[in-house]
Chains A and B, each alone.
Chain A
């Protein structure tokens, strides 16, 4: 058994075969048993397995894309649950993007941010205001609502607007540190939410607590995007862009400066890292991903109101980052996926199932503790268990370690490249 396992872990062929088999079985079973959430989840798990194989990055990426672009939608599309799976997948994509953004701020630059959802809100409202009649209330020119074609421009605008807010937030950050920073960002998040909640007077900009309904859906090649399965691809494209950018940043000069600032500000400064600029860039870049996804979110929901942007939401995103492993890109992706799927799908299905059992009389539960209302409780319990058993995060961040002789012989660069390809 042990020998066999070792062989498996070292042999690419075995890994490839097993993975292929796994993907085939799961996608087939998803195709046949449309209602099986387990099959859907296992198909997603194949991406995790893929991550742990020893293939080169190019193969991993193309295999992963194949699963996400073709296999997943195709095998889910046969039945009634198609849109529901795609809804979950879309939300997972949105949250991964946000978590990756927060990961830059918290994980890489070490700045604890408790008001991150504000940037998401900025993005969502940017599109929401201009894609409805709201903008006509305060804009002296132009014709509102804008058509759905403008959505694609707004993804960029949302990105810039959020980045701008990130810099505005960043300015007080230059003075406060640690947990004081946490409370300043928390305050900022709450201020943004309260302002959005009250900006229906004196001029009605955000619709206040009533929110902005009937947002124009995005339009491309004359087709309106209204279904979750269509947004899935939009989110996927942005997500891949995000992952790519984050990866590039991580190993760039600015990425190394972030880590230096995180480890020791004074030492970093002494080595010539410009503190102010580094921190501001972290806030701006992190915020911009959120802003983009905010625009997509507004287009998908066709309705935005302040209840989507509470403090709890910021904390949830932070938990995704910590749970996955701060600073680790694959970890954060996994953390965000686990949290979102748990909350949106697994817990709902689980409590439905328990509820079914209790109504059909298998066992009786008093109404005060009916399973349908236990979602938060289960969520809390799971968080504690995760944290206790994986205290460094699901996939902890790895920092490359160099040997003395390599450093002196000057082949570090080569090594770094190798390391990167191994990390995937």
Chain B
């Protein structure tokens, strides 16, 4: 039994990382907004979904032109990524403006209602547009980067089986890592990043220190949403098929990841996302082996949630979160 599990470890790790990277980048959006506003932006999953649709639409459109296909696919992808990030970033700013800013002084949970409202709106709007254009809202994009690379992990040690990687996985991983590194640099090393951290710590004091709070919040939403939208494109490239309802489940998982890592903490969100992805993949590949078929892959989410609850019981502030001393 142990042998079987070990054999598949390289492949499971690769698949888990792929999924985990997606979770991680979406989790960034949750964690940034939470860090600044203490608001769970439930519409974030839908922004991710919108990004996936915008990106796929562009890819379909561009590959429709003959001359673009002469360009290397990677250039195409980067253009689409940037454009989508810009658009979804603006969308996120708009949502903040319309649905969250008027409620900033309202009781803490009220924005939750507008967030859910926005989710329903975005889901259906995207669906209607997709249906008008394509006749069906389950959309499959052009297949890029489908080449398979075999890694001979068996040559490292004979207990492992060989694993295979899709080229798109490398692209997803590289772009996600670039996004995370740039974000980390931005938040920790630039003036705007400092302003963001200041607002997160104390909004009123920050505004006294001549930080334009509204601008900083807008910027936060822009960055979080842009990352979410870009991840949407990466997701569409990696998995090929999208529909307007992908945002809900993925958003939920990403939120879980953000909490697992310690919500409000950017590095925590990355760690939480990767962990959750690997855990899920491990559970769905091995649960029935481990339990002799009593609990199958369908319990993978139960497994993930139990790990999460266990982590929170022993470390209530999440893996990388700092315990907040309560002011008395």
Which residues of A does B touch, CB under 8 Å?
Answer: 106, 112, 172, 175-177, 179-180, 182-184, 186-188, 190-191, 194-195, 197-198, 201-202, 265-267, 311, 315, 318-319, 322-323, 326, 366, 368-369, 373-374, 376-377, 379-384, 386-388, 391-393
Contacts and interface: CB of A to CB of B under 8 A. Distances in A.
B131 interface: yes
Given A194-B302, A322-B109, A384-B99, A187 B256 contact: yes
Interface in B142-172: none
A387 B299 contact: no
Given A180-B259, A183-B308, A368-B131, A381 B301 contact: no
A106 B113 CA distance: 15
B226 to A, nearest CB: 23
A402 B296 CA distance: 59
Interface in B12-43: 34, 38, 40
Given A179-B259, A369-B128, A384 B298 contact: no
Given A172-B309, A377-B120, A380-B117, A387 B263 contact: no
Contacts of B316: 175-177, 180
A202 B121 contact: no
B102 A319 contact: no
Contacts of A186: 252, 256
Interface string B117-140: 111110111001001100000000
A267 B326 CA distance: 11
B288 to A, nearest CB: 11
B120 A202 contact: no
Contacts of A369: 128, 132
Contacts of B131: 368
B103 interface: yes
A194 B299 contact: yes
Contacts of A179: 34, 38, 40, 259, 263
Interface of B: 34, 38, 40, 99, 102-103, 106-107, 109-114, 116-121, 123-125, 128, 131-132, 252, 255-256, 259, 263, 294-296, 298-299, 301-302, 305-306, 308-309, 312-313, 316-318, 326, 328
A379 B120 contact: yes
A386 B99 CA distance: 11
Given A322-B113, A387-B113, A366 B121 contact: no
Given A177-B316, A191-B305, A387 B109 contact: no
Q: Report which residue of B99, B110, B328 has the largest number of chain A beta carbons within 10 angstroms of its beta carbon.
A: B110
A188 B312 CA distance: 13
Contacts of A377: 120-121, 124-125
Nearest to B249: A311
16 contacts: A175-B312, A176-B316, A179-B38, A180-B312, A183-B312, A188-B305, A188-B309, A198-B296, A198-B299, A266-B326, A266-B328, A318-B109, A368-B132, A380-B116, A381-B117, A382-B117
A311 B252 contact: yes
A180 B40 CA distance: 11
Contacts of A175: 312-313, 316
A382 B116 CA distance: 11
Contacts of B124: 373-374, 376-377, 380
Contact of B123 (A322, A366, A376, A382): A376
B298 A198 contact: yes
Given A179-B40, A319-B112, A387-B117, A184 B312 contact: yes
Given A183-B259, A319-B113, 5 more contacts: A172-B312, A191-B301, A191-B302, A369-B128, A391-B102
A176 B316 CA distance: 5
Contact of A391 (B40, B106, B116): B106
A176 B308 CA distance: 12
B259 A383 contact: no
B117 A180 contact: no
Nearest to A369: B128
Nearest to B39: A179
B121 A391 contact: no
Contacts of A381: 117, 120-121
Contacts of A197: 298
B327 to A, nearest CB: 9
Contacts of B313: 172, 175-176
Contacts of B111: 387
Contacts of B301: 190-191, 194
B326 A391 contact: no
A188 B132 CA distance: 39
Nearest to A316: B116
A182 B38 CA distance: 13
B308 A187 contact: yes
Contacts of A366: 132
A315 B255 CA distance: 15
A187 B263 contact: no
B282 to A, nearest CB: 17
A383 B114 contact: yes
B32 to A, nearest CB: 14
Nearest to B292: A202
Contact of B294 (A172, A190, A202): A202
Contacts of B106: 391-392
A132 B244 CA distance: 38
Contacts of B34: 179
B112 A187 contact: no
A180 B318 contact: yes
Nearest to A265: B326
A301 B110 CA distance: 33
A311 B326 CA distance: 31
- What 7 A-B pairs have minimum CB-CB distances, sorted nearest first? A380-B120, A391-B106, A187-B305, A383-B117, A368-B131, A384-B117, A377-B124
Nearest to A189: B305
Nearest to A185: B309
B257 to A, nearest CB: 10
B155 to A, nearest CB: 39
A194 B123 CA distance: 25
